[in-house]
Structure 1
Amino acid sequence: MKKLALSLFVLILLAQTSLATTYTIKSEEEFKAILPKVVPGDRIIIANGNYTNWNLTVPTKGTKAKPVLIMAETPGKVIFSGEVNETLFYFTGEFTTLSGITFNACTLLKAKGASGLMVEFNTTSNCRLTDCRFTTNAVKGQFMPLVIISGNGTANQVDNCTFSGNVDNQDVQVKITKDSCPQFTLIENNVFTDKKRVSWANGNGGECVQIGQDPILLGTKEANAIVRSNRFIHCDGENEVISNKSSRNSYVKNYFEANDGELVMRGGHDCIISDNVFEGGTGGIRINGTGHTITNNKINNIKTAIRLMYGMAKGKEDTGFYIAASNCTVTNNRISNATTGILVGDSKNADWTGKFDTKRYPSRVMQDVAPFDNKISGNTFSTTKNQVVTQ
């Protein structure tokens, strides 16, 4: 009986394996036609060629052992370009991977309630965007990203992708609302490069990575995202190369070179900024909020390496357009060739009257709450005029 049961089990496994199918498609219509048939372990191969303005909802559900793979026939030879009016690939399932696709010279439009977008993971789990290229794409509306992770999914990732020469856009956005917050997003081993200053009048909307959008109302949302081992080179889109506006995220082992911008804790609390390398550029690390740990970073040839900011309010309960840096730990960082290594108290008494919507962001307008209760120790400085300055 045991032998019979084992034989039946093996036959079932073989039967399941044999159900996996490879589909090769050459159009949006062919892709949509096979979607109802897709089961765990299937592969959907997009034939080499040039494509434009698809609009696909992809609900596929794989498993950890048998993910659904959507892939270019040859990485780099499946190219989407032209105008984009909606979302090219909108994922709603789980354990699905998109790989090898190039998005080049696309123009993302916004009109009639719809926005052009390359890829969105909405309330997905364990979905992956990997080995894709996003080059010289442009958006025609402010605050438009190329890739969004949204909804209440978990464990999605963007890895080994290239974002180069894109114009006026955000690259990767983790979207947080009052009703949704993706959990445990991983953004890893990507390259962001050659991003010019945005053309928008207020200079905003050009982040490479943004985790959360509203520093006041949603800053305490815990996203638990990890941004790790990415490279940011010549990224000048705006003052925030990375913009953190949520809590308990980690920024680890990233490399920044010659960027006109900083790694910014714009909102949120209890984040980890560790083991990053900054080489040249206009800024290093900027901190607002409570409970951050800034440790083991190497910062060279930047005028002011680490800035702890004044705010309009303090702590996690008060409301302020900026929250004063407090209860942060700044330790074991290596700073060289700086004018000021660590500045405690930047933007003192800045007056924001008329500069933000006080109805949308209910806050005092004076940035007059000094940083407090921060622990600064064990940092090393070389060729630095002022090691720690308090204002």
Structure 2
Amino acid sequence: MNNKISIFSSVFLLSLVPALCAAKDYPVADFSEYQQVVGDLAPGDRILLQDGVWRDVEFVFTGRGTKAKPITLAAANPGKAIISGRSNLKLAGEYLVVRGLVFKDGYTPSDAVISFRTDKPENPSDYSTIAVNTRLTEVVIDDFSNPDRYETDYWLSVYGKNNRIDHNHFSFKRNKGVTMAVRLDTEHSQENRHVIEYNYFGPRPVLGSNGGETLRIGTSHYSLSDSLTTVAHNYFDHCDGEVEIVSNKSGKNTIKNNVFFESRGTLTLRHGNGNLVEGNAFIGNGVDHTGGIRVINADQVIKNNYLSGLTGSRFGGGLVVMNGVPNSPINRYHQVDNALITGNTLVNVERIIFGAGSDEERSAAPSNSRFVNNTIVNDSKESPFELHDSVKGIDFSGNKVNFAVGDELAGGFEKSNSLNVAAPPLPVTKEQVGVSWYPKYQKSDRFAVAKTVKVKPGTDTLTAAYSELEGAAELVLAEGDYHVAKTILLDKPLIIRGAGQGKTRLTFGRKSLIDLMNGSSVRLQDLSISGARAPDDKANAVIRSDSAPMNKNFALELLGVEVSDLNINKDFDVIKLRKSTFADYVLVSDSSFSNITGSVLKLDSEKDDYGMYNAEYITVKNSQVSNVNGGLMTVYRGGTDESTFGPHVNVDQVTVTKSPAAGAKGNSILLHGVQRAMLQNSRFDNSAPVLVQHTVGGPVIRVKDNDYNHKPLYRVESIVPGMESTFTADNNNFSE
């Protein structure tokens, strides 16, 4: 009898074990509820954030799950828990899962939005503050950007070992700092074997500075350590932040089967040895500065990649094999040694460069390397090869081309005029990455308007009409006189269109007509603007960017605009862009400017000489400039950083008269550190010269087919002695 009771009791107690150990769900509605439960989580438990906006929350998610029973932090309904304001998330523990959260409308108060550690470990055996065997999946970080574009933070700092980051959506990081960084700063995070896969890396707008990488694995300081990270089946969509889209700075990583779509820059093997780059697709579609793969260091393998329609040059070319620095310091350029580049297909790639960066310092040409069994096809039948140094250290064999190559390469290439290459299927599609419930980027016209409003002449009728607008719009001004007594604080795209020069006339009574705020862009069209009623004050301008930093790039267009009498004081510009603000482009067409004490384009506020600048593309065409004391434009990009592509300047069919007058202090055009410029088909009449100042890279500046009547037309200065310059001047005509 007693034995039967004992057996029954044992069975009864055993039956209770699953119930006693059952995983629990903890629905939480606010941060205080979250804090109450997060410290007592057992394997299999889940914290479920309820729908709504979670503002100004700093989550710390810790626990010890198991492989079979991870501990989960998730949105109760994927995509419905919105983390906003000054918020972040720190992870530490083992077998954690984070799923379904959206970070939007805010920015991190710390150095990362999501960090895979709560603190730096104190000793090699202490793993208590980092995350291992942890998964981040179906998480969205969208425009969660610090309002100061040059304030640095990361969106994802990955520490620890064996972590998986998959099926996430990262788009529109606008401020300085890497979107995702794999960190190797302690032994706990080296040889980590992380897997980064099936993520959507959406647009990364041009930063106009170093620090705009989308993914970085390691840093130069730890670059001789191996990371063993796998980056596979990700989609990089218009990732344009800087010249390095992916910056590999560690060893033995695998980067395979990813797609780089219309992204400016390259996958750069910047530091670290023994990396594999395989099966990736680089689709440029002829977009400016689209690049492929840049090779540096030892034992790199680049095989079976498909590269198409890439236009990039120098460090941003389609395939770039760099020169190194003899006995290089760890943070410079190690020589390419024992590289294998094989089985790759390159179609309509404008530049394949060997010995890139060759100069007095970078004098170590590639050695012990092979370029074999690659196929290169160009519709133009022109060779894309550029040899900047010796290629004797590279064995070329078995390669196929449809154009003639130079004598130095001839032995390793077989030419066939009928060589046809079919585009292979992409290794991953846009639909297969990220999350299904959050929209991905689609190109659109920033000046597409849903509303058109007619405005009558009068005082502040323009500002009254603008104040009623909720989104992008066009204000159509009738013939007559308009006075704007209060500066228009523009925070959305706006078109202001008049009836024509001389027909629609604007004056303004403050220091500026328009102040550009975050989220704005402006097109002025068919207007006459006078500064005659502006105050006698300093730093006046028709259009100026906000005095506070702006993280959203904007566009400026002046089409058929007449600007005159900006001469109330000695410092009155047409367009003035201020520090920490950036224009994707400035376009001036079919316009005229006269009697101005400042400049037409004043784009020189970034004078800290760290490679920053105010506008990417600057175009002036079919226009007249007369009696403008500050000249047509001043464009400044200082320092010797090589991480950006611009500024780009194009001046075509412009007449410049006494702007400033010949012999006066100043220059008709000042280009300091500009990387690409074309000045052509223009007339410089009794005006001070164009001044070109070289600071970095291999700037390509061309001055051709211009007329002038006061010497000199241009002056060229090298701020950095010995740097490469491709300045050319052709067919410029002088007449007394």
Letter in 1 for 2:216: Q
Offset of residue 11 of structure 1: 3.8
Partner SS, residue 273 of structure 1: strand
Offset of residue 142 of structure 1: 4.2
Kept after mapping to 2: 8 A contact 1:338/1:385? no
Match of 2:305 in 1: 297
CA distance in 2, matches of 1:224, 1:67: 24
Deviations 1:157-185 (A, max 9, x none): 21111111221242111112255534011
- Computing the radius of gyration from Cα coordinates, the structure with the larger value is 2
Structure 1 residues 227 and 143 mapped into 2: Cα distance closer, same or farther (>3 Å)? farther
TM-score (norm 1): 0.85
1:367 counterpart (358, 362, 369)? 362
Structure 1 residues 339 and 9 mapped into 2: Cα distance closer, same or farther (>3 Å)? farther
Q: Which has the higher contact order (CA 8 A, sep 6+)?
A: 1
Offset of residue 83 of structure 1: 2.7
Offset of residue 209 of structure 1: 0.8
Match of 1:198 in 2: 207
CA distance in 2, matches of 1:13, 1:367: 68
Structure 1 residues 10 and 211 mapped into 2: Cα distance closer, same or farther (>3 Å)? farther
Q: Tell me which moved more, 125-134 or 55-64.
A: 55-64
CA distance in 2, matches of 1:197, 1:83: 24
Structure 1 residues 314 and 333 mapped into 2: Cα distance closer, same or farther (>3 Å)? farther
Q: Does 1:209 align with 2:215?
A: yes
Kept after mapping to 2: 8 A contact 1:142/1:205? no
Structure 1 residues 48 and 231 mapped into 2: Cα distance closer, same or farther (>3 Å)? same
Deviations 1:234-276 (A, max 9, x none): 1111111111111111101000011111101111110000000
Match of 2:174 in 1: 167
Q: Does 1:117 align with 2:120?
A: no
2:197 counterpart (188, 191, 196)? 188
Letter in 2 for 1:77: K
**Runs ≥4 residues deviating over 6 A:** 6-10
Match of 2:29 in 1: 26
Partner SS, residue 321 of structure 1: coil
Structure 1 residues 132 and 320 mapped into 2: Cα distance closer, same or farther (>3 Å)? closer
**Number of matched residues?**
355
Match of 1:376 in 2: 371
CA distance in 2, matches of 1:7, 1:221: 54
Deviations 1:196-254 (A, max 9, x none): 1114xxx21111111112x2x31111110011100001111111111111111110100
Letter in 1 for 2:115: E
TM-score (norm 2): 0.46
Partner SS, residue 34 of structure 2: helix
Task: Write out aligned runs for 1:84-123 (5 A).
Answer: 84=87, 88-109=88-109, 115-122=110-117, 123=130
Offset of residue 314 of structure 1: 5.7
Offset of residue 53 of structure 1: 2.1
Q: Tell me which moved more, 300-309 or 269-278.
A: 300-309
Kept after mapping to 1: 8 A contact 2:161/2:188? no
Q: Does 1:39 align with 2:36?
A: no
Deviations 1:272-324 (A, max 9, x none): 00000000052100011110100000000113421110111369xx6451112
Kept after mapping to 2: 8 A contact 1:143/1:206? no
Kept after mapping to 2: 8 A contact 1:311/1:320? no
Match of 2:69 in 1: 66
Structure 1 residues 14 and 288 mapped into 2: Cα distance closer, same or farther (>3 Å)? same
Unaligned runs of 5+ in 1: 110-114, 352-365
1:336 counterpart (311, 335, 347)? 347
Match of 1:128 in 2: 135
Kept after mapping to 1: 8 A contact 2:107/2:113? no
CA distance in 1, matches of 2:91, 2:240: 30
Structure 1 residues 10 and 295 mapped into 2: Cα distance closer, same or farther (>3 Å)? farther
1:235 counterpart (234, 239, 244)? 239
CA distance in 1, matches of 2:13, 2:96: 26
2:222 counterpart (206, 218, 230)? 218
Letter in 2 for 1:246: S
Kept after mapping to 2: 8 A contact 1:174/1:211? yes
Letter in 1 for 2:26: Y
Identity %: 26
Deviations 1:338-389 (A, max 9, x none): 223x42211110x6xxxxxxxxxxxxxx111111111110101111632654
Structure 1 residues 265 and 47 mapped into 2: Cα distance closer, same or farther (>3 Å)? same
Offset of residue 325 of structure 1: 1.5
CA distance in 2, matches of 1:9, 1:64: 26
CA distance in 2, matches of 1:13, 1:185: 35
Offset of residue 143 of structure 1: 3.9
Match of 2:459 in 1: none
Kept after mapping to 1: 8 A contact 2:111/2:152? no
Task: Write out aligned runs for 1:217-366 (5 A).
Answer: 217-280=221-284, 281=287, 282-303=290-311, 304-313=317-326, 319=330, 321-340=332-351, 342-349=352-359, 366=361
Letter in 2 for 1:385: E
Unaligned runs of 5+ in 2: 1-6, 118-129, 312-316, 389-736
Match of 2:165 in 1: 158
Letter in 2 for 1:313: P
CA distance in 1, matches of 2:57, 2:171: 22
Partner SS, residue 386 of structure 1: coil
Q: Tell me which moved more, 136-145 or 59-68.
A: 136-145
Structure 1 residues 210 and 143 mapped into 2: Cα distance closer, same or farther (>3 Å)? farther
CA distance in 2, matches of 1:370, 1:194: 35
